[in-house]
Amino acid sequence: MGTKVYVASIVGVLLVIAVVIGTVAMTKNTNGEKENEKNKFVSTKYVTDFCAPASYKDACLKSVEPVANNSTATPKDYIKAVIHATIEEVQKAMNVTKGMYIDKKIDPFHHMAVEDCKELLEDAIDELQASFSMVGDSELHTLNDRVDELLNWLGAVYSYQTSCLDEFEKPEYKSAIENGMVNATQLTHNAVDIVAAMSEVLKAFDVDFHLKPNTSRRLLEVYEMGHDSYPAWFQVADRMLLAAHRGGIMKPNAVVAKDGSGQFKTISEAIAAYPPNFKGRYLIHVKAGVYDEQVTIDKNKLNIFIFGDGVGKTIVTGHKNYGIMKIQTSNTATFNALGEGFMAKGMTFRNTAGPKGHQAVALRVQADRAAIFECNIEGYQDTLYYQTHRQFYRDCTISGSVDFIFGKGSAVIQNSNIIVRKGDVGQFNAVTADGKEIFSERTGLVLQNCRIMAGEDLFPVRFQIASYLGRPWKQFSKIVIMESEIGDFIRPEGYNPFVTQERNTNEKTAEYYEFANRGLGARTDKRSKLFSKFRVIDEREAVQYTVENFIGGKLWLPATGGQFTLGFTR
């Protein structure tokens, strides 16, 4: 009897333990499910918030799939996922381009278009990889401070892709490239949108970030050589370059002279002699003379400073063009500057194709942090091509007829003469044609304290030929003309639509602003009503288009030693 009771007791205890274990297990499962649901909710919220600024939501959602199920993923992880996905898609687009074969003898124009596309997409991959590294190396709480730099690179990536498409004329070729590139362009577009909204994205992730400093300070400050506010990575020698040039004491790395008195007789030879892995500023002195050659400083040749004996004395000239020779616009440039940190002073860059040559570039600049001082840039249509990145021009003279200052980068032209020339019969004149393509990009063109005037050939007939301040090349074209003198020959409507065979409506989305201009052409009461977003802006808004704020000039222009104004010139 006692044994039976004992056994029964044991069995009872075991049953109780089993019930307890089962209850605990059920509780754990329930809690686990709740935790999983909570994590799923958090991840879903993060993905939704992260992709909210993106123009292509489905593409964004797909690009962040690798991190979407990780509740501990940070904004860095999400941004890196988007950039990584973009790199993969650009590489696929590159493979499509590499797979295209066009016989050079039968169709040299489109053969060159394919070659240009390969180079542009390689540039896109390089800058995406740099963007990926920057995000990875950044502290999470300082990520917001990298917005301008990331937008600079990502904007260039998008420009490379669309410029590739612009190279083609035949629909069958263009469609093949466009179809192979659609995912890449959408993802790049998304990356620009998201980075532009970085502060809101970080807030959604409950990340504490550094606010950008007040951008309205020191608006009238002019930096000269010797100012003590320089980033730590700039060498003292860099700050002295232009001052040394003015004093005639600068020793160049290479001297070019047509008469044989230098180390080289052509500029191209001097550039080819640039040492591999060179560190610092590479100085090339080009003595007086006319150099008839097409010059290219490729992207691997950094910090080249080329200076001449003065405008009209040291002249680089060419005549390549689209209208007569059927050459792509970018390949018509007399001088091509692709290497970061490019500087020029005391030079004339010229394209002599004339108005019948149509697109004929004198100077094409793709280099980031490019600074051009006291140079003449001469041509007719498409004279100056500010292709990508941040650029600054000071005390220059730029002349042309149709769209003669155009591009997709971020450029400020300050204290310069803008000379409008008489073009071909039946042509009108347009000073600018900006190619901003994404609304959230921070690109565009600023003319500050410039003189916009009729050239000697145009002046006698200036009221007979229509002349405009600009026309919108791309959908979100942005032009700001501030503190400038505008001649009486500019039509009262100011701007002209960009009419193509497809007939776009860019004038409805283009942002054309004016501030504190003077001269008989500066009246704004009759500006074209077709331009829905045209406005005369006030000082509070205009400050964002100063050198300090629009191209981050305070961080890199002091190193040039050249004169510039960070804020307003008034």
Known catalytic residues are 382, 403
- Main-chain dihedrals φ then ψ at residue 271, nearest 5 degrees: -70, -40
Residue 496, SS3?
coil
Nearest-CA neighbor of 216 among 539, 564, 478, 570?
539
Residue 381, SS3?
strand
Give the type of residue at 196: A
In degrees, rounded to 5, the angle at the alpha carbon of residue 148 between the alpha carbons of residues 152 and 68 is 90
Q: Which helix (H) or strand (E) holds 479?
A: strand 478-482
- Main-chain dihedrals φ then ψ at residue 322, nearest 5 degrees: -90, -45
Q: Are 307 and 283 in contact (CB under 8 A)?
A: yes
Q: Are 320 and 353 in contact (CB under 8 A)?
A: yes
**128 burial class (0-12, 13-18, 19+ CB within 10 angstroms)?**
buried
Number of alpha carbons in the 13 Å side-chain half-sphere of residue 281: 27
Give the type of residue at 70: N
Non-local CB neighbours of 330 within 8 Å, separated by 6+ positions: 116, 163, 167, 361, 364, 385, 387
Q: Are 410 and 167 in contact (CB under 8 A)?
A: no
Residue 437 DSSP class: -
DSSP bridge pairs for 400: 420
Question: How far is Cα 116 from Cα 475, in angstroms, rounded to an integer?
Answer: 24
Nearest-CA neighbor of 283 among 294, 291, 275, 295?
275
Neighbours of 310 (CB within 10 A): 15
Q: How many helices (H) and strands (E) does the chain have?
A: 13, 28
Non-local CB neighbours of 215 within 8 Å, separated by 6+ positions: 543, 544, 548, 549
